[in-house]
Structure 1
Amino acid sequence: MRAAVPVDGAIEIREVPVPQPGPREVLVAVRAAGMNRADLLHRQGRYGQRAFRHPGRPDIAGMEMAGEVVAVGESVERVGTGDAVLALCAGAYAEYVAVDERLSLPAPAGSPWPSLAALPMALLTAFEALARLAGLRRGQRVLVTGATSSAGLMAVQLARVLGAGEVIGTTRSREAVPLLRRLGAATVVHDGRDLAGRVGDDGVDVVIDHVGGAMFEASVPLLRKGASVVSVGRLGGRSARIDLARFAGTRARLLGTTWKTQEIDEIADSVDALRTTVYPHVLNGELVPVVGRRIPFGDIASGYEHLTGPREPGKPVVVL
């Protein structure tokens, strides 16, 4: 089969063996795969995909996909041949991928493959941050920084679905303001210097930060008593300076999340929790991914170049 393999800091399409599904695994014919900024780190050998990657298989790029199940391994219970599924996984940029069935979710009927492939990472990241870590409660005020990232766009929608009293989103793009408002952000801030003024004296109960750096610093003075801050992304900087006394005075919580350091059982637990609580909102169309550029599999190198450029709303998707 054809697969995209990192080679000396670049990405190449090569012929590799089709994986054989092991116990609890399903073999999926990949129809589309979502692209993520973490793919750039993986191409450079700096993203371990610890939970996803099978030690006996080639190092193939890609971390999420959608496709059709063509074979199942031993002890598979939830998924059958012919099922359309989406999942987090290692090796998504290939014609076939073997996936632990516990990480798979059933595809909503009638959804196009690119939309399905844009769901797993954004949906699970938003769910992990808002529901499992921040413990968002109905009526709370939520700030989503970097809200035009794929995870940010989903966090805006999910906060609304979970009953947030108000959702505030930040973006550097004026053109993205109508999109964020349509998805559920009551207030959109496109100039970070005006963040405090737009949020106002009432502050926020939850911050889902996809930026880090100066944006993280600017969000700390806005915290209400007992607030939660979840660090998801750090494209704006891996370091921040905050007034610890002021932070302590709010009795706020600072939490972090990343998939690459979680074990597969931990991720499977998150998928199970999402399956029974939030996923019905996907199946009925309340939560929808925003698809950005579509990249033919044979031109995947251009997709990586796209990832290095200015961020556009929506997730770029590789189409097989």
Structure 2
Amino acid sequence: MWAVILEEYGNSEVLQLKEIPNLEPERGEVRVQVHASALNRADIEQRKGNYPPPTPSEHEIPGLEFAGVVDKLGAEVSNWRIGDRVFGLLSAGGYAEQVLTHERMLMPIPPNLTFEQAAAIPEVFFTAYDALTDKANFQAGDTVLIHAGASGVGIAAIQLARVMGASLILTTSRTNWKLEKCRALGATYTINTAEAEFDRVVLDATASRGVDIILDFVGAEYLEKNLNAAALGGRIVQIATLSGSSTQINLQKVLSKRLRLQGTTLRSRPFEQKMTLTQTFAKQILPLFVDGKIKPLIDRSFQLKDVAEAHRYMEDNSNVGKIVLTIASKE
């Protein structure tokens, strides 16, 4: 099979397409012929050598999600048949013609979605769903601030918060046209952080109460303002630290507001937790894709051979929504 192999770390030019042996499923595993994968910021960091996969393997292949067709079954697999259209989350390996995964890490692709649309779902929608429900204990009527609202996770979080009954959804970006996209998806207020202090806007929009939940990708630069913008009993979920991870924290605000600061990552979690999340997501959220109440948003697709160009496009911050890699011929 063909795959993008990292033999060294560096700029996008280190992403090289190589031919390696086909994968063979073991007990409980399924081999999927991949039709599409998608880019994530974690792939950029892995390419630079800053985010290694949790389990070393003979070939280091980036890619955290995939969609394709089951083409080989390991022993004792009972839930899938050859030819099933499936998609799912990975710890690594998505930039390839084949992936191996446990059968309980797979989900059926809704009939109204393409392979490309399905590949755009797992990493961002799993992250957003887990952050809102498990980490932030979302309740209908909560108010939510979503930073980087035009990012993949931001777009997923806006839609999920809307359908789950948020009373107010605020999002941030440094680009007005990206904020327009956020409003179209259901954001109530949008804040250009290049033009305004987001904590002040949040307090104005909530009559000085603040918001119940904050999903943050920025990190150090935003922490103090997040503390200001949080309501009493607010929950701040730290998903990434794009501006850095080291900063001072005003513990008095944490104490007086009874705040909770919760960190989260998906990739390094135990397999059992990922499996449980997959099964819960498939049961509770996948039907919303079938009904069209939420949808993956694709910005642009690239062929696998053009993966270096796709990485450069992501690093330019040009996208709103997912950047997808098409890998195999469509059915």
| CA pair 178-307 structure 1, distance change in 2 beyond 3 A | closer
Paired position in structure 1 for 2:80: 79
CA distance in 1, matches of 2:258, 2:318: 34
1:183: Cα distance to partner?
Answer: 1.0
User: Which residue of structure 2 aligns with residue 206 of structure 1?
Assistant: 213
Q: How does 1:1-320 map to 2 (within 5 A)?
A: 1-9=1-9, 10-50=14-54, 53=55, 57-89=58-90, 90-191=92-193, 193-199=196-202, 200=204, 201-320=208-327
Unaligned runs of 5+ in 2: none
Counterparts in 2 of 1:240 and 1:162: CA distance versus 1, 3 Å: farther
Report the Cα offset of residue 240 of structure 1. Answer: 3.2
Give yes or no for contact 2:6–2:59 (8 Å, CA) kept in 1: no
Instruction: Give, as a single letter, the amino acid of the residue that structure 2 aligns with 1:300.
Output: V
In percent, how many aligned pairs have the same letter? Answer: 31
1:62 deviates by: 1.2
* Alignment partners' CA distance in 1, 2:264 and 2:182: 23
SS at match of 2:146: strand
Residues 191, 47 of structure 1: CA spacing in aligned structure 2 closer, same or farther, 3 A cutoff? Answer: closer
Is residue 149–residue 179 contact of structure 2 (8 Å, CA) maintained in 1?
no
Tell me the SS of whatever aligns to 1:283: helix
Q: Once the 2 structures are TM-superposed, how far is the Cα of residue 56 of structure 1 from its aligned partner?
A: 5.4
Which amino acid in the other structure matches residue 63 of structure 2? G
Amino acid in the other structure paired with 1:115: Q
Name the aligned partner's letter for residue 255 of structure 1: Q
Residue deviations 1:138-174 (CA, integer Å, cap 9, x gap): 1010000111110011001111111111111111110
Aligned residues: 317
> Structure 2 counterpart of 1:143, which letter?
L
Note the residue ranges of structure 1 that are not aligned, 5 or more in a row: none
Q: Which amino acid aligns with 1:197?
A: R
8 A contact 2:313–2:319 mirrored in 1: no
Distance 2:290 2:224 in 1: 37
In structure 1, what is the Cα distance between the partners aligned to 2:25 and 2:183? 43
Residue 278 of structure 1: CA displacement?
Answer: 2.1
Q: CA deviation digits over 1:97-136, x for unaligned, max 9?
A: 1112222111111312221111000110001100111010
CA distance, structure 1, for counterparts of residue 49 and residue 20 of structure 2: 19
Supply the AA of the counterpart residue of 1:195: F
Equivalent position amino acid for 1:23 in 2: R
C-alpha RMSD over aligned residues: 1.5
Conserved in 2, the CA contact under 8 Å of 1:231 and 1:255? yes
CA distance in 1 between partners of 2:318 and 2:250 (Å): 30
Q: Which amino acid aligns with 1:234?
A: T
SS for the counterpart of 1:7 is coil
